[in-house]
Structure 1
Amino acid sequence: MRKLILLCLAVASPLALAATPECTKADKAQWQDQGKFQEQLKSEGYQIKTFKVTKGNCYEIYGHDKDNRKVEIYYDPVSGKPVKEKVQK
């Protein structure tokens, strides 16, 4: 029984870490304009391959940063601040 519990925990843990973050519960009227937000990121040197709104109410981008590293970043659409980042080195 203990082995079964440990196995379940080992399988469930990576899934919990891979979950999409919850960025905001604010009304969408308070969110930054998607187009302007993307333009701001581009002016900072980001190359956006994919931009989407997640189920967790985040702006999510896939692309490259100014150093040409591959990135996946979740942003709070109200504040514009990154909530979760994955940068390939």
Structure 2
Amino acid sequence: MRKILLLSLVIASPLAIAGPQCTSAERSQWQDPKAFQEQLKAQGYEISKFKITDGNCYEIYGFDKDKRKVEIYHDPVTGKAVKAEIKG
């Protein structure tokens, strides 16, 4: 029984920490990643890391205009923030 419980925890853990699902749209409908980052920079964001997640999100790590550390998931089609975490 313990083995089954441990196995279920190992399998479920990555799902629990995975980011949101942002879009199912074709990549041809997504905003250009470089242009999208430039828009964020124009709004005062400093981007330390940018990536495309398994959930089809644009994810940024960096700082907002108030110099607070942030992690934000964006819908790559609309650019809308789907999930944001301010870390400082």
The TM-score, its normalising length taken from structure 2, stands at 0.82
Aligned partners of 2:25 and 2:74: how far apart in 1?
Answer: 13
Quote how far apart the aligned CAs of 1:88 are: 1.7
Query: 1:13-67: per-residue Cα shift (whole Å, max 9, x none)?
Result: 9865532100000000000000100000000000000000000000000000000
2:11 equivalent to 1:20: no
State the AA in 2 paired with 1:85: A
Segment of structure 1 superposing worse, 13-22 or 70-79: 13-22
Partner residue in 2 for 1:63: 62
Partner residue in 2 for 1:84: 83
Partner residue in 2 for 1:51: 50
Segments of 4+ moved more than 2 angstroms: 11-19
Check 1:54–1:28 CA distance in 2 against 1; reply closer, same or farther (3 A cut).
Answer: same
Aligned partners of 1:79 and 1:23: how far apart in 2?
Answer: 10
Identity rate of aligned residues, in percent?
Answer: 56
Aligned length: 83
Aligned partners of 2:16 and 2:54: how far apart in 1?
Answer: 16
Partner residue in 2 for 1:29: 28
Aligned partners of 1:82 and 1:20: how far apart in 2?
Answer: 13
